[in-house]
Amino acid sequence: MRRGGWLSVSDSPDVGGQGFPTIIAAAVSQMFLAGNQAFLMYPGLTHGAARLVEDFFQHPLRDLILEKMYNGAWTGTMCLTEPGAGSDVGALKTSARKNPDGTYSITGTKCFISAGDHNLTENIIHPVLARIEGDPPGTKGISIFVVPKIRINPDGSLGEPNDVVTGGIESKMGIHGNATCTLNFGENGKCIGWLMVEEREGMKVMFHLILAI
């Protein structure tokens, strides 16, 4: 899929895409979906997460992350669901604390994360919903963060693991071929993320990912 450029059929050539009309990408996606839905979730979630980075993330590493995701060198996920806060996303307990350098320390658990951990690629980019300490309860107080599995150095090289640990393997009906798992962020207090957009805009932004898969 990487060699054929199938992850970014209708995306702009400026970000590594092929620039075809969306209808062409939809047709291609349907063919892959008919062949193996579980596998297609890897590029599908990657594409959705990359679109969030493209549309909402303003950071010096933005272009590097986009290139790596759109060409399939890195994959992406959607970290929304938590134990005890499935359909009631506003009850999430994952928290974020701002650091002096502008990053955020992320602490919490997400479950049923498809493509959550694997060795297909050298890094995984997690868009993570969390509540900044002191923000109001409910969905209105939720922000969204870019959290890599492996830290990214300022020069674009990969650094040390980012304290994102697989807590258990899970199953989703009909897609047992996909690596679905519980992810624990910041068990050792060393998980760092970047705020994707303005504070408390998390739910609105996450819906864009769902539409872009």
Q: Give the structural domain span for 205.
A: 6-212
CATH of the domain at 54: 2.40.110.20
Q: Kindly report the backbone phi and psi dihedral angles of residue 167, in degrees, each rounded to the nearest multiple of 5, phi listed first.
A: -90, -15
| Token pair belonging to 131 | 């509540």
Q: What is the distance in angstroms between the CA of the first residue and the CA of the last residue of the chain?
A: 16
Q: Which residue carries 């955020």 as its tokens?
A: 104
CB atoms within 10 A of CB 42: 23
Q: Write a three-state SS string for 79-90.
A: ECCECCECCCHH
Per-residue pLDDT of the chain (213 residues; tens, 9 = 90+): 888 889 999 998 988 889 999 999 999 999 999 999 999 999 999 999 999 999 999 999 999 999 999 999 999 999 999 998 777 888 899 999 999 999 999 999 999 999 999 999 999 999 999 999 999 999 999 999 999 999 999 999 999 999 999 999 998 888 888 999 999 999 999 999 999 999 999 988 988 887 766
Length of the chain: 213
Q: Answer whether residue 163 is part of any domain.
A: yes
- pLDDT at 176 (0 to 100): 86
How many domains in the chain? 1
Q: Answer whether residue 1 is part of any domain.
A: no
| Token pair belonging to 124 | 């995984």
The SS3 of residue 87 is coil
- pLDDT at 211 (0 to 100): 72
Q: Answer whether residue 35 is part of any domain.
A: yes
Which residues, 6 or more positions from 166, have their beta carbon under 8 angstroms from its beta carbon? 116, 117, 181, 182, 183, 184
Number of H helices, E strands in the chain: 4, 10
- Cα separation of 153 and 115, whole Å? 24
- Cα separation of 154 and 157, whole Å? 7
